[in-house]
Chain A
Amino acid sequence: MRIELEINGDTRSADDVWEGESLLFVLRERLGFPGSKNACEQGECGSCSIYLDGNLVCACLVLAGQAQGARVTTVEGLAEDLDLHPVQEAYLKAGAVQCGFCTPGLIMATHELLERKAQPSDAEIREALAGNLCRCTGYEKILDAVRLAAKARA
C-alpha cells in the first residue's frame, strides 16, 4: 500500500508498504528517519517516542497504515537548523547521554512533559519518564537534564 503523511513539517510518502509494518519501521527503514529507536518494539521502552497528531506515542505500536494523513514529529524535527533544542542541549550538558539509544525517546518525553508542565517537581519528572528505559545512566543525570531544561524555560 501507499502511505502519505506529514513528518516534521514536510509531506512524505512511501510505496509498497506491507500492511504489517509499524510506523516505526516505515520511519526508520523507508523514509530515512532512524532517530526513533528500535530497542524493544513492544511499547515497553519508549525509545521510539514520537508525536502523532500532537500525542506522544510509541511508534512501534502504531501500524503505518494508521498514520495515513497524520502529522508526525520525530526527534529529528525538534532542533531548528543547526541549533539544538533546549531539551537536547540540557541532555548533553547534564551528561545524560551515554550510549544514547534511549536519548531520542527520553528527549521527546521530556519535551512533552515540559509543554504540559513547565516546572515539574522531581516526582512529576519520574512519573512522566517512567515509560522510558535507560540502561546506562541510572537516570540521575536524566533528572538533572530535565531540571536544567525546565530552568532554561523559567
Chain B
Amino acid sequence: MRAPTIQKRTEQRGGVGESVQRPDGVPKTKGEFAYSSDLWAENMLWGATTRSPHPRARIVSIDTREALATPRVRTVLTHEDVPGRKSYGMEVPDQPVLAWDDVRYQGEAVALVAADHPEAARRAAGRVKIEYEVLEPLVDPETALADGAPALHPSGNVIRHIRIRHGDQEASAEVVVKGDYQVGMQDQAFLGPESGLAIPDGEGGIDLYVSTQWLHIDLDQLAASLDLPPSKVRITLAGVGGAFGAREDLSIQIHCCLLALETGRPVKMMYGREESFFGHVHRHPARLHYEHGAMRDGRLVYVKARIVLDGGAYASSSTAVCANAACFSCGPYNVPNATIDAYAVYTDNPPCGAMRGFGAVQTCFAYESQMDRLAKALDIDPVELRRLNAMDTGATMITGQEVEGPAPVAELLKRVRNAPLPPDGDAMDIRTLPGGVSNTTHGEGVKRGVGYALGFKNIGYSEGFDDFSTARVRLSVVAGEPQVEVHSAASEVGQGVVTVQMQIARTELGVQQVVVLPADTSIGSSGSSSASRQTWMTGGAVKNACEAVRARLLQRAAQRLGKRHGKLTLDGANIVSAGSGSVASISDIVGDDPIEETKEYHHRKTFPLDPRTGQGNAHVAFAFAAHRAVVDVDLDLGLVRVVEMATAQDVGKALNPQAVEGQIEGGIAQGLGLALMEEIQISQGRILNPSFTDYLIPTILDMPPVRADVLELGDPHAPYGLKGVGEPPTISSTPAIVAALRDATGRPLTRVPVRPDDIVGLDGQSG
C-alpha cells in the first residue's frame, strides 16, 4: 500500500483568512464610488414626497391642482396612480404605497411630485392640498393591546404574540427578583440617505439603481405595485452608504419608478436627513417585565417575562423581531423553566422593523439587568453568577432546541474578565474625563464603574424560512491569465461581502484575478444583507459554484490529458497529479472555452415554533459575545465617559480578520449609542428630533478603544466554519455599559438610553 501523498499547496494571496483590502476601497477614498445619491442621467427629473403631518387622520380629499401648476413640475401622483397592488410590506403588505383613506403615522407618504429641480419638487409637494380629519393618535402600545382599544388595522392591533411555555410552569425558587425595563426607539442612522435613480426603458419596463439590503424582495414588491411582470423590472445595487436594517423595507423604490414611468423620463429621488427619519423603520421601543427565580447557590430555576414591542403603524419585520425577542429572552443561560409572552403591537407611532440585533437587543438589556439584580440579591459576584448558568454545547434553549456547535459562553466571559483593566483617567488632562473640554470637572465627583454582559442571537433566517443565496462563477482566460468572474445579488452595504466573495474564489480556484460584478436582479436572489447571514449564505453559494467549476475544470483536464496522470487536483493555478506534479495550468485547460456554473446555497432546514408552547427547532445557528465596559461617571452632572470596551466573540472563522474587527468595533459603537445617547423622541406620535443636531450618534470623542478577542471555533455546518459577525457586538455592549454605570452610581437605571437625569437621580427611582 502506498502512503498517501501530501500535496503542499501553493501559497495563494488574498484568499480566505487574510485581511484583504476591499476592492471598492480605492474609489471610496477618492470620492469616485457611485452611491445611490450620486447618480445622474441626461434629462433627469427630481422626485419629492408629500407626507402626512398627522400621526392619525382620515383623508377627506386630495387636491393636486396647485402643485401641478407650480413652474417646472411635470407630474403629481396619488394613490389613484398606483397601477398594481396599492400596498406593500415584506411580511404583511399592510403599508399603502400612497395613503388613500387613513394615515397611521406622521410622515406617511400621500403624494409624489416630479420636477426638473429638487427645490421646485419640494415646494410643489408642499402645495398638494390634503384635507384631513385629524384623529387622536393611539401611541401607547399597552393601550393598543388592551380590550376595547380601537383597531388600527382590520386584523386588530396585535401584529404577533409569541408564547413560550417551557418546562415546569409551577416551578418555585428560593430567591426571586423582578424588574421593569424600557428601551427607547433607536435609529439606524446610516449616513447615505435613501436615494435612487429610475430610468424607463421606453417599452413599459424600468431600470432602478438603488441602495437596498435585498434586491429581490424589492423586486417582488415593485412588480406587484407597478403591475409589471418581474422581467420588466430590473434593479441594480447602487453604492450603499450603510444599512443596519433600515434598508430592508422599501423607501423610494416604488415612488421613483411610478414617477419615471408616468413622465417617461429618468427620475432621481433623494431624502434629506430629516426626511430620512420619516423614510425608514426604526428599532422597536420595548417595555419588558421580568421575573427571575433562582436557588440560593445561584442556579436559575425559571424566567417569566412579558415583552411589548411597539411596532408602530405598519408591520414591517415586526413578526420576526417579536420571535427573536421571545426566543432569546432569557439570554445564553441554562433556564429549565420559562414563561414568556412577547407581543408586537400596532400603534400610531413611526413604523419599526429591522435594526442590527433585531429583537435580541431589547431583551438582552432586560435579562442582563436582571442577572445583575439577581447577583445583588444573592450576594454573588455578577460574573460568577453568569458563569454558573452559562449555556454550553448541548444546552437546551427555552424553545426546546438543542444548541449545536460551539457555545463558548463561559470561555468568552472568562476572557473579558481576565483582560487587563485600563489605567485610571488622567485628572491633569480634562480630555480624558467625563465632559471633556467642556471643562466640567477636574476629577472631582468622578467615579469609575465596571460592568459585564453576555448576549446571543440566531444567524440567518429562522422558523422554517427557506433561506438561500445564489452565485454564478465563471472561469475564463483573459490576456493569457486565468480570471474568475463572480456574480450574485448580495448587497454590499459596507460590511465587505464583495471582498469575501473575491477571497473565496481565490481560495477555491487558485486564481489571483477575481472580478465581482455589480449585484443586480439578473441573477437569482441572495437574500438580505441582514441577520448576520450574508457571508455564510452568499459565501456558501460562491463556494458551491467554485467547487462546481473546479470539478468541471478537472474533468476537462482528465479528458484532455488522458488517464496516465491518475487523480488530478488544483494547486494554485496549476493542475497537478500525485505522480507527475504540475501537468497543466488552468489557462491551458480553459483556453477560449470558459467554464461557468450557477449554484445555490441553502442553510439547514429550520422549523416553526409551536403556537401554543413556542417550542421548536426554529434556528439554524447561534452567535455569542461577551462585553466588559469600563466607565467614568461624573456623579454630580450625570456625564459619562466610556473608558474602554473589552469583548470576546466566537466568529467561527474570520474570513477577513480586519473586516471582522471593523464589525466588532462598529457594532459596539451602536450599542454605546443606545446605552447613552440615541433615541428618537416621540411625543403624541410626533418625532421631536429628526436631525443629526438632535438625534445624537457617537463621535470619535465618545467612542473608547476596543479590546477585541476573536475566537475561531468553527461551526461544523457553515462554510469554512464561519459564523455571522455583525450583530453580536451591538447586543451585549449596551447592557455592559449600563451595568458599569450601575456599578459606579448604585442607581437602578432600568431604561436605555440612560440620561444624565437618571444618573444623578432625577428619574424618581431609588438607588
Contacts and interface: CB of A to CB of B under 8 A. Distances in A.
Nearest to B692: A44
Contacts of A98: 242, 494-496, 662, 666
A9 to B, nearest CB: 15
B599 to A, nearest CB: 28
B241 A100 contact: yes
A140 B700 CA distance: 8
A102 B189 CA distance: 12
Contacts of B670: 135
A107 interface: yes
26 contacts: A18-B117, A21-B119, A34-B31, A37-B192, A39-B192, A47-B191, A75-B29, A79-B30, A84-B26, A92-B26, A93-B21, A97-B22, A99-B191, A99-B240, A100-B28, A100-B241, A101-B35, A101-B192, A104-B29, A126-B700, A127-B701, A133-B699, A135-B188, A138-B665, A138-B698, A140-B706
* Chain B residues touching A, range: 35 or more
Interface in A53-97: 74-76, 78-79, 84, 88-89, 91-93, 95, 97
A92 B28 CA distance: 9
Given A107-B29, A140-B705, A141-B662, A135 B242 contact: yes
B661 A95 contact: yes
B259 interface: no
Contacts of A75: 29-31
Contacts of A20: 119
B666 A136 contact: yes
Contacts of A107: 29
Given A37-B191, A101-B192, A127-B437, 6 more contacts: A37-B192, A95-B661, A104-B31, A125-B700, A131-B699, A133-B692
Contacts of B38: 28, 34
B129 to A, nearest CB: 24
B191 A101 contact: yes
A15 to B, nearest CB: 13
B22 A84 contact: no
A40 B243 CA distance: 16
A123 B693 CA distance: 23
B494 A88 contact: no
Nearest to A99: B494
A129 B270 contact: no
A138 B703 contact: yes
A41 B437 CA distance: 26
Main SS at interface, chain B? loop
Nearest to A102: B191
Nearest to B242: A99
The residue among A34, A104, A140 with the most chain B CB atoms within 10 A of its own CB is: A140
A52 interface: no
B272 interface: yes
Interface in B461-505: 493-496
A99 B192 contact: yes
* Majority-rule SS of A interface residues: loop
Interface of B: 19, 21-22, 24-26, 28-35, 37-38, 40, 117, 119, 188-193, 239-244, 270, 272-273, 429, 431-432, 437, 493-496, 658-659, 661-662, 664-670, 691-693, 697-701, 703, 705-706
Interface string A29-54: 10001111111111011010000000
A42 B691 contact: yes
B673 to A, nearest CB: 9
- Specify which of A38, A102, A137 lies most central, judged by the most chain B CB atoms within 10 Å of its CB: A38
Contacts of A36: 31
A84 B244 CA distance: 29
Contacts of B239: 100
Given A38-B270, A44-B693, A103 B242 contact: no
Given A95-B19, A135-B191, A138-B666, A41 B40 contact: no
Contact of A88 (B29, B37, B697): B29
Closest 3 CB pairs of A and B: A35-B31, A99-B494, A100-B28
A152 interface: no
Contacts of B19: 95
A107 to B, nearest CB: 6
Contacts of A114: none
A91 to B, nearest CB: 5
Contacts of A142: 700
A150 to B, nearest CB: 15
A7 to B, nearest CB: 12
Contacts of B244: 135
A143 interface: yes
A39 B241 contact: yes
B190 A135 contact: yes
Nearest to B270: A38
A99 B30 contact: no
Contacts of B240: 99
Nearest to A29: B40
Contacts of B241: 37, 39, 99-101
Nearest to A45: B692
A76 B242 contact: no
Contact of B669 (A78, A97, A130, A139): A139
B494 to A, nearest CB: 3
A85 B493 CA distance: 25
A97 to B, nearest CB: 5
Contacts of B25: 91-92, 97, 100
B191 A45 contact: yes
A99 B662 contact: no
A137 B29 contact: no
A137 B699 contact: no
A137 B659 CA distance: 10
A26 to B, nearest CB: 12
Interface string A116-133: 000000010111011111
Given A100-B24, A137-B666, A39 B30 contact: no
Given A135-B242, A138-B667, A141-B662, A84 B29 contact: yes
A91 B189 CA distance: 22
Contacts of B431: 123, 126-127
A42 B273 CA distance: 8
Given A92-B21, A143-B700, A41 B33 contact: no
Nearest to B243: A99
A125 B192 CA distance: 24
Contacts of B190: 99, 101, 135
B192 A103 contact: no
A58 to B, nearest CB: 12
B24 A35 contact: no
Nearest to B432: A123
A101 B693 CA distance: 18
A96 to B, nearest CB: 8
Given A95-B658, A98-B494, A138-B703, A103 B666 contact: no
Given A76-B32, A138-B706, A141-B662, A39 B669 contact: no
